[in-house]
Copies of this chain bind each other. A is one copy, B any other.
Amino acid sequence: MLGPLSAFVLTPFDGDTVDERAFTALVEGTATAGVDSIGALGSTGSYAYLDRAQRSRLARLAVRSAGDVPVLVGIGALSTPEVLAAAEDAQRAGAAALLLAPVSYQPLTDDEVLGLYEDVTAAASVPVCVYDNPRTTGFTFSDALRSRVAHLPGVGSLKLPGVPEDPTAARAWLSGLRAAVPADVTLGVSGDASAVRGLRAGCATWYSVVAGVLPRTCAELTAAVLAGDDERVAAVEARLAPLWPLVAAHGSLRVAAALAEQLGVVPRAGLPRPLRDLPAPGQRAVAGVVAAGVGAGG
């Protein structure tokens, strides 16, 4: 629904305050670096830690700063009324699409998750991207539920958490899922470490955290995959690969924040309490990756 590369930007905090100037500059820089869409207020954008007024304001800033690049805005919250309010605010801000994860406190049933998407798509006037992220929501989608949700009018894309390690298994799974969802619903891969595998196996979009820090590098990688230029893919992947074990150990948000700060992409990429910056050993590991040239492509 949004082109091959969607870059999810950080929301930089300075203490308990959002650094709106840094956020604006980050969105502007990302939008002009060759990405197809911007994801604002995703998990990387710490939406879950912001109140309604902050989210509404950041959605407006993101759309204004992204120029012609469409902006996907995260609207997840624990209660459905809160989700509906965030959807309304994001649409008023000019969001091209809404990103919705089944954020959970009480573990949700399949019917409850389906009901959430029914309520939101009934109210929304732009497409909803189903954000499947078991690590943060605690909720695991079955393929049967993915299919039920994807058939709701108003659903535009499924943002999948990753694809199987084995390329054949990845292709088989995605083609089965592809057949089970309407033709106009795109399948997208997140989990940057499995992006190349996902795009090769048939995903239409890479929903990327690292592209919010290194948009040019990720745009180059995406173009190389789509062009079948395996040599170029391998060269770019080799530059990014040292990040993946750090992401697995510390989570993509903490690593992206440390990376953005060390590369000077933002002056300060503080995280909202109770989250804390990557501890010193992780910071040193990110510094090693930076020294090895991960930022060379921008």
Contacts and interface: CB of A to CB of B under 8 A. Distances in A.
Contacts of A184: none
Contacts of A39: none
A48 interface: yes
Given A274-B102, A276-B112, A251 B81 contact: no
B105 A49 contact: yes
A109 B275 CA distance: 8
Contacts of A106: 43, 48, 136, 251, 253, 275
Interface string A242-266: 0000000001010000000000000
A191 interface: no
Interface of A is mostly: loop
Given A109-B276, A115-B276, 20 more contacts: A16-B80, A48-B105, A48-B106, A49-B79, A79-B272, A79-B274, A80-B274, A103-B105, A106-B136, A106-B275, A108-B274, A108-B275, A111-B276, A111-B279, A112-B276, A115-B273, A116-B274, A119-B273, A119-B274, A138-B138
15 contacts: A16-B81, A43-B106, A48-B106, A49-B79, A49-B105, A79-B272, A79-B274, A80-B273, A112-B274, A112-B275, A112-B276, A113-B274, A115-B276, A116-B274, A119-B273
